[in-house]
Amino acid sequence: MTRQFRGIGVSPGVAWGPALVIRWDFPEVPDRTVRVDQVENEMRRLREAVDYVVSHLRELGERVLQRAGPEESRIFDAQILMAEDEDFLASVETLIRNNQLSAETAYEFKALELRALWSGAARLRERLADLHAIQMRMIHCLMGGGTEAEVWSVPADEQVIIVAHELSPGLTVQLDREHVVGLISEEGTRTSHAAILAHSLGIPAVMGAAGVLAGIPNGTVLLLDGQSGTILLDPTEDEMEQARVQLSRRHKLELQLEAVVGEPAVTPSGRAITLMGNVDLPEEIETANRHGAEGVGLLRTEFLLTGRARLPTEDEQTDYFRRVARAFPRKPIIIRSFDLGGDKFPAAFKAPVEANPFLGWRSIRVCLDEPAVFRPQVRAVLRAALGHDIQLMLPLVTTVQEVRDAIDIMAEEAKALKEAGIRAAESVPVGVMIETPAAVIMADRLAEVSAFFSVGTNDLTQYTMAVDRGNARLANRFNPHDPSVVRQLHQVLEVGRGAGLPVSVCGEMASEPLSAVLLIGLGYERLSVSPPALPLVKWVVRTIPEDAARQAASAALGAADAAEVSAVLREAVGQHIDLRLLDPQSALPGRGRAATLPPGKTNVQ
Ligand code: PEP
Ligand code: MG
């Protein structure tokens, strides 16, 4: 049996504990018929199972409400709606009645039908995972297997490491940090939204770990390093000891980092760098604040929608935006309009089936085409902006007209609010995410209609290199150090600066210390980073002389490939910082090169 697996370290920290293997497969359901006089009983069993599953979902919702907030807990609304879907349940009852089938046999039959219907549609992937989870709980319950605990619910008295084929953002947001100390999945990469959420929640995670489902028996004790992406099965006492030693080294680094939290982010020669936070979930507001974020450079708003049964109201959004703004008095809050599509599909929303969702109807395109989605959000932004430095950022812009249209919509909504006597700002600065090659090429014309630029290097890398950012198999080919991306970063800054616009980077690369040095060397003065990474990036800013960063960036612009860029950066940074601190060896013994994500806020255990 393999003792070690490797994947991509997507959320740092070391964890150990027994594996809880989640198999997203239905249990074997025997074809069972019942006597005519038992038909009513089967119908009753079906309804009892629904009640049971729904009450369990409500409990989960409550739990999430306590630990995260109302927005996250609403993720269960959609699941409850699916579980209670009357049309579906009526079709199961008809099958029980007409064919004298047992409740589980009939339910499975209809469940498979529904899944087949949905599974053809890429856009329903996230919803399918939710549906799958509910149906499995139902069948387990009907088969007397007890609760969904057997499927994926975590035992309350244990701390486990979840092993799954794929982790959806919906599942990740539901995980209870007290009991789930680590996550492992076969699918996914560092920029998958589930990975970003795991990072935000501070749960060490390894994704893209091929073969774990077949290779890790349930209950096996695992030692997981969310930084290096390594997983060790049944660690020996020696190996555990080595892991503890590594952990304590990392802990010392974290203490060092804590010391810089209150210090300004200035380079050794005194240039101020504005370090803001990327906030995906409400609970990150606190971390960003604690780590001294100078505002929010990217407020992702998709969590208000993902997996939810309905669109968030204008009032809900206004409240949320105000809450974020109040947490960062007098600091900019850059709200990104809904970036839907790709791998983010809200249950609340009917989108068409598409062959290439990442090249399809997503982001700004959806916003401009769907007034019911975009206009309440724009109104909420305007209302919350009264008295706060709130700005609006448009994702995936490819044409100047998209920006003009969004600005027109804002003007119309501002007028409507005024006419209705609702207190709101008359406008807010509207900026553009530069995350497509088209936007880079058109940056000079986009600058004429934009208040600021923010480079989304996750998508810019994806669209430049034609590499799916979520495809684990291509993870080695997804690299923002590729000179094609570096040159665009240079170009955008030159153009934006020439037009007098603030230009920042909010893609994940800004959270990675070597890349942050590259960006500073290119001349960027505004970075928006994942909140746990703020202290490390600040420490690097304060430590690496600008000259060294500039020389490295200039060499990177002339480099032939990503490996050369990374080597140049390591060489430059290595003169001033022990690279092992940035890129520590795996906490697991003898396991090669570490991944490049910075250490997080805490290590588990
Ligand atoms: C990006 O693409 O770099 C970005 C910041 O946006 P997201 O990761 O949400 O697509
Ligand atoms: Mg993006």
Residue 178's CB: how many other CB atoms inside 10 A? 10
Mean pLDDT of 503-525: 97
Q: Is 343 touching ligand 1 by the criterion CB < 6 Å?
A: no
Please identify which of the residues 193, 291, 388, 481 carries the catalytic annotation: 193
CATH number for the domain whose boundaries are 25-149: 1.10.274.10
Tell me which residue has its CA closest to atom 1 in ligand 1: 456
Mean pLDDT of 133-146: 81
C-alpha dihedral sign at 585, 590, 593, 595: negative
Which atom belonging to ligand 1 lies closest to the Cα atom of 462?
A: 2
Q: Is 459 touching ligand 1 by the criterion CB < 6 Å?
A: yes
Mean pLDDT, the chain, integer: 86
Q: Is 300 touching ligand 1 by the criterion CB < 6 Å?
A: yes
User: Which amino acid, 200?
Assistant: S
CA pair distance 513, 188, nearest whole angstrom:
22
Strands 230-233 and 221-225: antiparallel
Comparison of pLDDT for 152 and 568, the residue scoring more = 568
Instruction: For residue 141, indicate whether it is catalytic.
Output: no
Identify the three-state secondary structure at position 470: coil
pLDDT band at 124 (very low <50, low <70, confident <90, very high): low
Positions of E strands within 28-95:
none
Intra-chain end-to-end CA distance of the chain, in Å: 27
Mind spelling out the 3-state secondary structure of 314-340? Answer: HHHHHHHHHHHHHHCCCCCEEEECCCC
User: Which amino acid, 44?
Assistant: R
Q: Is 489 touching ligand 1 by the criterion CB < 6 Å?
A: no
Q: For the ranges 29-38, 192-201, 409-418, which has the lowest average pLDDT?
A: 192-201
Positions of E strands within 509-548:
526-529
User: How many angstroms is it from 433 CA to the middle of ligand 1?
Assistant: 9
pLDDT band at 129 (very low <50, low <70, confident <90, very high): low
Within its chain, how far is the Cα of 167 from the centroid? Answer: 11
The per-residue pLDDT for range 305-361, each reduced to its tens digit, is: 765 667 889 999 999 999 999 999 999 999 999 998 875 656 666 667 788 888 999
Phi, psi of 299 (to 5 degrees): -100, 100
Residue 551 has pLDDT above 70, yes or no: yes
Into which CATH architecture does domain 266-574 fall?
Answer: Alpha-Beta Barrel (3.20)
Please identify which of the residues 140, 141, 388, 506 carries the catalytic annotation: 506
CA pair distance 182, 19, nearest whole angstrom:
9
Residue 228 pLDDT: 85
Residues 13 and 602: beta-carbon distance below 8 Å: yes
CA pair distance 585, 591, nearest whole angstrom:
8
Instruction: For residue 193, indicate whether it is catalytic.
Output: yes
The per-residue pLDDT for range 386-408, each reduced to its tens digit, is: 999 999 999 999 999 999 999 99
User: How many angstroms is it from 458 CA to the middle of ligand 1?
Assistant: 5
Residue 591 has pLDDT above 50, yes or no: no
**Domain residue extents for the chain:** 25-149, 266-574
The per-residue pLDDT for range 70-79, each reduced to its tens digit, is: 655 666 777 8
Residues 453 and 394: beta-carbon distance below 8 Å: no
